Amino acid sequence: MPVYKWQERPTKHFGTVLVPFAKADLQRCDGRFQSVALQIDSGAVISTLRRSSATLLGLTLEAGRPVDLKSVGGGVTQAFVHEITARFDPSLTLSVPFAIMTSETVPNLLGRLGVFDVLQLHFDATFQETQFLQPWLDRKERRIWEFVVETEEHVLRRWPEVTLSGKTASDPELQRNAKDVARRFLGRTGQVLASLRSLLKEGTRYGAPALIRTMFELVWQFEFLMLAPEKRAKEYAEFYWVTRHKQAKTLAENPVGFVSKRLAESPKRAAGEQQNRVEFERVKPMFMVQTKGGKERLAENWYKMSIRELAESLGRGGEYRLIYAHASAWAHGDPFGTEPQQPNFLEDPNTALLLGLMCHERILFLIAEAGRIVLTNEQFEVLKLAMRQNA
């Protein structure tokens, strides 16, 4: 898609300013194309051309639809609207309505009609350029996205007053802990989904496999947690001390960088290490697992198995093999994941978006079920479908 650098233009009162411009080849009556520079103006309803452009394009000015256009200052100029084919680059050709003015003192402008309503224009102040992008969602996909957002808002509005079902109902501390952990997972999948949206909006879909991989790790963990929320939410929260202990120990024992050296020399180090050690020793027995040789070791994660074993235990083995394995090949630089002639199917914008939404919908469903949050028939059916999906 085309990218146009901003251009410097002198002004009467404000010196030289940068102005966004685009170049377009406008089709003449004889079929040939004429290159024209157009100042991009998001405030202009319709694109405009000077009177001389009619002659340049071989058009009869008065053959267009007559309109009276008002300027910002209130002045009125007569113009005639013509539908003109505009080619911005070989991959982008649009039919754009242009109002050709009867005056020669007006600028050539690229306005909203036929442009802003069918394309995304990204104004980048850092690189002082404007990028033309295709819409990142079609109408159907936009409705799906809006549905998920509406459902999330519905669930979160009712979240503060719900009482989770199960053994947690009789224990306020377990209730708070389980609800806090559920909110963490929902918040994190929301963050990852927002990152995925940003990639698709910017047209940089190539990072999608890594985000999809993260989404499936999150949703599998949450499904596992919600099978026994009173026990597993506590384990999830307590594993914090295992990770903190490992990180603090690594930083303190390997003072090779500025941050780690400051931590090693900190007067608070002794007290901090003592607290970490006490808390780690307290929770350590919760996360000891047996090896195949019969020995005990500390688990690598709170759910005490590999991500493949986790997926299989939930009946999500098909998702692991078809989706997660492909995403991992991409993330790890596997030869299969870097083959340019065989792009990862997760880079497809529609596939990436639908998979990301599916994971988020599953967490919404599990939270709504645990909190007995009433859903509309449409919400229930769509979220239930997401739960049944298994590649």
Q: Which pLDDT tens digit goes with each residue over 127-152?
A: 999 999 888 888 888 888 899 999 99
Chosen domain end from 108, 133, 158: 133
Q: How many domains does the chain have?
A: 2
Same domain, 61 and 157: no
Predicted pLDDT of residue 262: 66
Same domain, 105 and 194: no
Same domain, 283 and 177: yes
Same domain, 59 and 181: no
Same domain, 46 and 185: no
Q: Could you say which residues of the chain have pLDDT below 70?
A: 72-74, 164-170, 252-272, 341-343, 390-391
Predicted pLDDT of residue 182: 87
Same domain, 96 and 165: no
Q: Which pLDDT tens digit goes with each residue over 291-321?
A: 888 889 999 999 999 999 999 999 999 999 9
Same domain, 104 and 163: no
Q: Which CATH number does the domain housing residue 93 bear?
A: 2.40.70.10
Please write down the HEC assignment for all residues of the chain: CCEEECEEEEECCCEEEEECEEEEEEECCCCCEEEEEEEECCCCCCEEECCHHHHHHCCCHHHCEEEEEECCCCCEEEEEEEEEEEEEECCEEEEEEEEEECCCCCCCEECCCCCCCCCEEEEECCCCEEEEECCCCCHHHHHHHHHHHHHHHHHHHHHHHCCCCCHHHHCHHHHHHHHHHHHHHHHHHHHHHHHHHHHHHHCCHHHHHHHHHHHHHHHHHHHHHHCCHHHHHHHHHHHHHHHHHHHHHHHHHCCCCHHHHHHHHCCCHHHHHHHHHHHHHHHHHHHEEECCCCCEEECCCCCCCCHHHHHHHCCCHHHHHHHHHHHHHHHCCCCCCCCCCCCCHHHCHHHHHHHHHHHHHHHHHHHHHHCCCCCCHHHHHHHHHHHHCCC
Predicted pLDDT of residue 258: 64
Same domain, 221 and 310: yes
Full-model pTM = 0.81
- Residues of the domain holding 107: 3-133
Same domain, 328 and 294: yes
Chosen domain end from 92, 117, 133: 133
Chosen domain end from 89, 115, 133: 133
Predicted pLDDT of residue 248: 78
Same domain, 241 and 369: yes
Same domain, 265 and 245: yes
Same domain, 43 and 185: no
